[in-house]
Structure 1
Amino acid sequence: MERLIASKMIYGGLMKVTQPHLVHNYNTALTRFGFKPIAPDEFSIDAMGFSPQVAEILDDSDYLNPHRVNPRFIILTPKQRELPYVQVSFSSTPELMRSFYQANRTALDVLTLKDVVFGEIEDDTYTVSTIEDLLSIRHVVFDLHSANGVLKGAHKLEQLISRFEREPTSWNNQKLMKDIIDLAGLCGDIRKNDPIPRNVRFTKNAFWADHFGGVYILRDEDGHVVLGDAPEPPFPTKGSTIDWYLSLEDPKTLHSYLTENDRLEPLNRDWLLGSGVLEARIDQHITALMGLSDKGADLGALTPSNVKKWVNAHAADVSNDRILSFLNKTKKSLLAGADIDLDKVAPDLRFLVQRADPAHPDDGLINRLIAEFVPFDFVVRFMVNKEAFYRDYETYPPNLREYVVDLIQNTYFNDKDRHWDKLFGA
């Protein structure tokens, strides 16, 4: 993983914390979570406030994610809203945090000028021991606190101001007046600059969770659908509200379900050719074959003539590779203006030429799922399913690792927004 860290593909884009008052605020939040104030004079944080350096000191990478259910957060500055998310147990956590940041943007700007915000994203589940614990998660509430009392004081000040405006004799109530003045000194004029985040409840619909070996939870009008790697449910289903379990080892049933429920975009000729995804997958697949067959090959020095020479030398293996054959055939057919009949395509291969419907609210989750069937598209896998990418990366020989890192840096990292829009935009 050293190469990934050095290339900022792990812990990349984090914010350095060096200002003494922010270090102090972070340590104060740590103590409220029951830890010692062990943050060093310089450390980095992500959007949740997770710090690799603090995790290393604590020897606990889950220090902000106990039981991997209700994640904690520490917000030192509103700048964190732009940061990545290093470690999550639910695919929905980044989306929920982004929604929280956006819905309470002004309040967080005001509050973090005076205080550090910390808390938990709470639901009704405190541990996950059965699948029902996951199925029961429908809504979350951000339980908020501030270390220096600004948030609590603002709530109290709001009540006192309301009382002052209600009671006709308030001007003669010296204690009430003093309490208002004292709290205003701590919180500021909350009528002009409200520091209270008002939007703290959000819906958690479909998501991936790293429990039970990693499962996808989808919700339809007909009930709960759980998707997993195992051929059979890796958990007891008796007494649960699960309606269907679909295995990723059964791509035919899975593809049918996603199609029938409008989660897959119909084969899109313009996207396949215009985005360059077909060409990219062909190139990456050939390079993966080269790297895996010749661990000494310099994949970074490849030229079109080198690749052609290798393909010719391994013509039998290349022609027998069903993935490569399908991609090449599809590309030729599309360029010739021919139609592709997906019903005649093997179910697992269909995922190579489809993406989630960009108009569906579950599109991000479904693109993550599709990436499970496209392990050689290193760029897309890194973009939408980092857990799977990191897992597979550990199995690659050194030359393929180097190629993958360079490829992602030279494509996706060059212009993330443009690359994302090209592959997944409407």
Structure 2
Amino acid sequence: MHRLIKRGLMFGNLIEVASPVLVERYNRALKHLTGKVTGLTDFHIDISGYSPEIGDELGDHLYLNHNGVNRQFILLTTEQKSAPLLNAKFSTSRGILKQFITENEPQLFALTARDAVAGELVNSVFSVSDPKRLFDIRKVEIEADTTQGTLRDADELAGMVDRFKGEEDAWFDDVLIADMITLAKRTGDVTRNPVRLKHMVFQQDNFWTAHFGGLYVFRGLAHPAVIARGDKDALGKLPIKYMFDFRDRNQIAKFFEYNALVEPIVKARGIDASAILRQKMDFIVVDAAQEAGVDLTGATRRDIRALARNHAEQLPPEYHGLRALVNWAESDGPWPKINSDHPAYFYSLRAADTPDKDLVNMLLAELAPKDVRQLFICHKESFYGAYATWSETKKSYVADFLDREYQVDKAGARAALFGHDAPMEEPVSAARDDLIARVGPWGAVRR
């Protein structure tokens, strides 16, 4: 992975912790949460405060994420909001942490000026040893305080102030006054500078989890389903009507359609569809070249396309399907009939503009894994797993491409690939709704 780390494509944007003061605060929080401490004098942390160096030191990379649920966090600075989340077990965790920091930034800035803030993403499940337990996760709440209990003390002091102002004889209560003075030394003046974090609750309707080989849970849609990366039968019976795995291409395509979750790239507005499809074709050529043992060291885009021209007959059907789409878009060629059985089908789609577009793009990235750029952007865990299996020549090419083409303008690249100028969903007809209600959206599907 050294190529990725060197180019900032792995462990990029982590926050360095090098000052003795911050290390000491981190250790207080780590001791408070886990009973452990680190002997390192400098390390890097992600948005949750997890450090890969400390994970190596402790021999436990889930030291802040026991059993992969109820992730704990340590905040040393509000700058952590821009850091990635490593070893993610749920797709929603980073968004929850980022929103928590953003919504409470002034308060957290004041708190972290003197201490670390430690907390936990709390739900009703402490173990997911059985897939059914995932469906007990309905919402996530955030519990947080400084290691010295500043927020707890501030709430207690605020209650004392209310008593002092409201009770007739409070002026003569020496014990109450002494307790207020003691707490105020730790919290400051809570009447003039109240420090309270917003109580935040996040619904967990649709999400991806790394548990059980990777599952996409869509239960907050009109037509809910679970989509498994591995064998769906190994999950047993789940409390949801429809279960698919990646072999069920037709059913997944219908699931996308009935929930209006995707749109064809060639029909999307405000993007250069041909350029996006051509880049996908290049990645497919790179994958085929790896299989054929072709050396891609230093290969340019022109070299890749020359390779495609010279070996067109040996390229997989994904390439030819996308080429037909490009021919239609650029040259008024015939509309290619690419249905869900065609290997190019999921390469031809992107998420529609819905609240679940990031999750849908994540799923599409796994359904079209040869598009390494989308895999890297939308599903880094899957990208790193695939990267480890590639030949050295493909690793080198992909790392160079992402460094050269993506790192220089991440926001621009994401906007060009996944941005939306206008909603693309067509309203579902009442007739189709009636049909779905009678026979179910995917027909007779075996569990």
Q: TM-score, normalised by structure 2?
A: 0.88
Provide the rounded CA distance (Å) in 1 between the counterparts of 2:322 and 2:214: 29
Which of 333, 344, 347 is 1:349 aligned to?
A: 344
Give CA-to-partner distance per residue, 1:242-261, whole Å, 9 cap, x none.
22101211111101111101
Q: CA deviation at 1:131?
A: 2.0
- Aligned 8 A contact 1:115 1:150 in 2: no
Hey, what does 1:387 align to over in structure 2? 381
Give CA-to-partner distance per residue, 1:49-71, whole Å, 9 cap, x none.
00111111101111111000111
Q: Does 1:257 align with 2:252?
A: no
Q: Does 1:147 align with 2:141?
A: no
Which of 300, 318, 323 is 2:318 aligned to?
A: 323
Give CA-to-partner distance per residue, 1:270-328, whole Å, 9 cap, x none.
45635831121112222232233124x14323362x4455334424213xx21111111
Q: CA deviation at 1:377?
A: 1.4
Residue 336 to residue 308, structure 1, CA distance change in 2 (3 Å): closer
Q: CA deviation at 1:336?
A: 2.9
Hey, what does 1:157 align to over in structure 2? 157
Name the % identity: 28
- Aligned 8 A contact 2:274 2:330 in 1: no
- Aligned 8 A contact 1:125 1:137 in 2: yes
Q: Does 1:310 align with 2:291?
A: no
For 1:356, the aligned partner's letter is A
Q: Does 1:18 align with 2:18?
A: yes
Q: CA deviation at 1:333?
A: 0.2
Greater CA drift, 125-134 or 185-194 = 185-194
For 1:416, the aligned partner's letter is K
Hey, what does 1:281 align to over in structure 2? 280
For 2:377, the aligned partner's letter is M
Residue 270 to residue 201, structure 1, CA distance change in 2 (3 Å): closer
For 1:283, the aligned partner's letter is D
Q: CA deviation at 1:350?
A: 2.3
For 2:392, the aligned partner's letter is P
Which of 391, 401, 405 is 1:411 aligned to?
A: 405
- Aligned 8 A contact 1:223 1:242 in 2: no
Greater CA drift, 265-274 or 338-347 = 338-347
- Aligned 8 A contact 2:350 2:364 in 1: yes
Hey, what does 2:431 align to over in structure 1? none
Give CA-to-partner distance per residue, 1:83-129, whole Å, 9 cap, x none.
11112111111111112112222221121122211121111101012
Q: Does 1:423 align with 2:417?
A: yes
Q: Does 1:78 align with 2:78?
A: yes
Query: Which ranges of structure 2 fall in alignment gaps of 5 or more residues?
Result: 421-447
Query: Which ranges of structure 1 fall in alignment gaps of 5 or more residues?
Result: none
Residue 269 to residue 258, structure 1, CA distance change in 2 (3 Å): closer
Provide the rounded CA distance (Å) in 2 between the counterparts of 1:338 and 1:161: 77
Q: Secondary structure at the match of 1:32?
A: helix
For 2:179, the aligned partner's letter is D
| CA RMSD, Structure 1 to Structure 2 (Å) | 2.1
Q: Secondary structure at the match of 2:243?
A: strand
Q: Does 1:49 align with 2:44?
A: no
Number of residue equivalences: 419
Map 1:192-271; keep pairs closer than 5 Å. 192-220=192-220, 224-237=224-237, 240-267=238-265, 268-270=267-269
Provide the rounded CA distance (Å) in 1 between the counterparts of 2:151 and 2:220: 39
Hey, what does 2:439 align to over in structure 1? none
Hey, what does 2:357 align to over in structure 1? 363
Residue 277 to residue 361, structure 1, CA distance change in 2 (3 Å): same
- Aligned 8 A contact 2:387 2:395 in 1: yes
Provide the rounded CA distance (Å) in 2 between the counterparts of 1:274 and 1:115: 50
Moved over 4 A (4+): 221-224, 337-345
Q: Secondary structure at the match of 2:402?
A: helix
- Aligned 8 A contact 1:371 1:384 in 2: yes
Q: Does 1:292 align with 2:291?
A: yes
Provide the rounded CA distance (Å) in 2 between the counterparts of 1:423 and 1:308: 21
Provide the rounded CA distance (Å) in 2 between the counterparts of 1:16 and 1:250: 44
Residue 307 to residue 211, structure 1, CA distance change in 2 (3 Å): closer
Hey, what does 1:173 align to over in structure 2? 173
Provide the rounded CA distance (Å) in 2 between the counterparts of 1:317 and 1:232: 33
Hey, what does 1:334 align to over in structure 2? 329
Q: Secondary structure at the match of 2:63?
A: coil
- Aligned 8 A contact 2:137 2:204 in 1: yes
Residue 311 to residue 83, structure 1, CA distance change in 2 (3 Å): closer
- Aligned 8 A contact 1:263 1:363 in 2: yes
- Aligned 8 A contact 2:244 2:252 in 1: yes
Residue 138 to residue 223, structure 1, CA distance change in 2 (3 Å): farther
Provide the rounded CA distance (Å) in 1 between the counterparts of 2:240 and 2:132: 8
- Aligned 8 A contact 1:265 1:356 in 2: yes
Provide the rounded CA distance (Å) in 2 between the counterparts of 1:275 and 1:311: 17
Q: TM-score, normalised by structure 1?
A: 0.92
Provide the rounded CA distance (Å) in 1 between the counterparts of 2:274 and 2:419: 10
For 1:56, the aligned partner's letter is D
Q: CA deviation at 1:396?
A: 0.9
- Aligned 8 A contact 2:317 2:343 in 1: no
For 1:324, the aligned partner's letter is Y
Residue 395 to residue 361, structure 1, CA distance change in 2 (3 Å): same
Hey, what does 2:425 align to over in structure 1? none
Q: CA deviation at 1:39?
A: 4.2
Q: CA deviation at 1:33?
A: 2.5
Give CA-to-partner distance per residue, 1:392-416, whole Å, 9 cap, x none.
1111110110010011111221111
Provide the rounded CA distance (Å) in 2 between the counterparts of 1:148 and 1:298: 56
Hey, what does 1:114 align to over in structure 2? 114
Residue 362 to residue 66, structure 1, CA distance change in 2 (3 Å): same
Map 1:94-105; keep pairs closer than 5 Å. 94-105=94-105
Provide the rounded CA distance (Å) in 1 between the counterparts of 2:365 and 2:61: 26
- Aligned 8 A contact 2:73 2:119 in 1: yes
For 1:135, the aligned partner's letter is F
